[in-house]
Amino acid sequence: MIDSWKDNTAKSNEHWKWQGETGLKYDLVSSFLSLGRSIFAYTYVAFRTIRKMISIGTFTQLIAAESSLNGAIGGMVNSVTELVKRCNYAYEYVLFMEYPAALKKGSKPVEKKSHEIEFRHVSFSYPKTDRKVLEDVNIRITPGEHLSIVGLNGAGKTTFIKLLCRLYDPTGGQILLDGTDIREYDYTQYMEQFAPVFQDFKLFAFSIAENIAFDDKDADITALTDRVGLHEFVEKLDKGTDTSIFKFFDEEGVEPSGGEQQKIAIARALYKDAPVVILDEPTAALDPIAEYEIYKQFNSLVGGKSAFYISHRLSSCQFCDHIAVFSDGRIAEYGTHAELESIPDGIYARMFEAQAKYYRD
């Protein structure tokens, strides 16, 4: 680390040295020009004064005028250089803002209702990589279906969700919503159909209520916090759901535990009231029993909505209509808990047995 620090400091010093040396040349030229101008002006005016061609009063006036002219010219040069410098920064910003969107955005309206979702021969590689993270994924999720997605780390579960949420477009195949390619839909309306809670959700240093419903004063925040099991947590706070999260802006703010933060994030997803709910392992910081409770409760809360659950703990699978087991970017097994559990030496059966054994022991 120290070597790397020394290396970088040396590089950075080299840059400053180069900047200093380049700047010095221009500074010297500019200073000499200014000096020359002043010497010429002073000598000329002094000469005329000695020759009594102008009065002492005029002399002082001219000297003062020369000095302010010098200042004005210097100021103007500085302003122009500063302008050029800032234009360069602005240019980068303009380029960035005008960067064409990589995602194709259609115009077809999307109605806020239960949807049928279908992945048809979907393949995907991340930009600038060759490896297929998803390969020929085929699955149909009927309206209101609850699907559990399981698989080892790196199997492609999150990527599957990212494609559904249009964070990327598939490199092959199609994703269909009610029979239409999702690229044809109006992007904003399409996004309104999903309430995802990702592993790396973020809470803001605002109040609990604002974190859930932002500025919607009519939202029943208490009902939402009760639903996700935050009743006791909120009850202990003097200001209830108006208590700030974190202490960045409010000394009386509360620091929720990892599990409590996840529950707030889930309450936010519930508030959105979108037809498709996605939980991508947001419950990793919860203990197994709390996770089991949340999933059980959540499953009844989302009711008729479609739901996708990604979890390492297979207890959540039992509430779902179907389970898709991802392995090396493909759906290796698909079915109900009972069906998959009975596959001899199946991936799901082995994962389930390994976890069940752990709890039993």
Nearer to ligand ADP, 62 or 324 (CB): 324
Q: How far is the CB of 190 from ligand ADP (least distance, A)?
A: 21
Nearest to 359 by CA among 309, 291, 296, 300: 291
**Phi and psi at residue 304, in whole multiples of 5°?**
-75, 0
Size of the site for ligand ADP (CB under 6 A): 12
116 Cβ contact list (under 8 Å, min separation 6): 140, 141, 142, 143, 176, 177, 178, 179
Nearest to 211 by CA among 223, 225, 198: 225
Question: Judged by CB under 6 A, which of 26, 32, 126, 249 binds ligand ADP?
Answer: 126
Nearer to ligand ADP, 137 or 155 (CB): 155
Strand 322-327 to 172-177 pairing:
unpaired
CA 298 – CA 316 distance, rounded (Å): 10
Q: Convert residues 308-327 into a mask of x (bound to ligand ADP by CB under 6 A) and - (unbound).
A: ------------------x-
Q: How far is the CB of 137 from ligand ADP (least distance, A)?
A: 12
| C-alpha pair distances (Å), 202 with each of 154, 219, 264, 265 | 22, 21, 10, 8
Residue 179 three-state SS: coil
Q: Which of the ranges 48-56, 74-82, 126-134, 181-189 carries the binding residues for ligand ADP, by CB under 6 A? A: 126-134
Q: How far is the CB of 169 from ligand ADP (least distance, A)?
A: 14
Residue 206 three-state SS: coil
Strand 330-335 to 117-124 pairing:
unpaired
Q: How far is the CB of 118 from ligand ADP (least distance, A)?
A: 20
Nearer to ligand ADP, 154 or 288 (CB): 154
Question: Judged by CB under 6 A, which of 129, 188, 300, 361 binds ligand ADP?
Answer: 129
Q: How far is the CB of 126 from ligand ADP (least distance, A)?
A: 3
Q: Which amino acid is at 168?
A: Y
Nearer to ligand ADP, 169 or 192 (CB): 169
Angle formed by the axes of helices 2-50 and 56-97, nearest 10°: 150
CA 247 – CA 74 distance, rounded (Å): 48
Q: How far is the CB of 139 from ligand ADP (least distance, A)?
A: 15
Nearer to ligand ADP, 45 or 134 (CB): 134
Nearer to ligand ADP, 198 or 233 (CB): 198
Q: How far is the CB of 320 from ligand ADP (least distance, A)?
A: 17
Nearer to ligand ADP, 128 or 217 (CB): 128
Nearer to ligand ADP, 133 or 276 (CB): 133
Reported as half-sphere exposure (CB side, CA atoms, 13 A), residue 268 has a value of 23
Nearer to ligand ADP, 156 or 275 (CB): 156
Q: Which of residues 326-345 bind ligand ADP (CB under 6 A)?
A: 326
Partners of 185 in the β-ladder: 108
Question: Judged by CB under 6 A, which of 110, 117, 122, 133 binds ligand ADP?
Answer: 133
Q: How far is the CB of 151 from ligand ADP (least distance, A)?
A: 5
Q: How far is the CB of 162 from ligand ADP (least distance, A)?
A: 7
Measured between its terminal Cα atoms, the distance across the chain in Å is 44
Nearer to ligand ADP, 77 or 152 (CB): 152
Q: How far is the CB of 158 from ligand ADP (least distance, A)?
A: 3
Give, as one character, the DSSP assignment of residue 336: -
**Do the beta carbons of residue 207 and residue 244 sit within 8 Å?**
yes
Q: Which of residues 138-177 bind ligand ADP (CB under 6 A)?
A: 151, 153-159
Give per-residue burial for 109-125: e unless 16+ CB within 10 Å, then b.
Answer: ebeeebbebbbeebbbb
- Footprint of ligand ADP (CB under 6 A): 126, 129, 133, 151, 153-159, 326
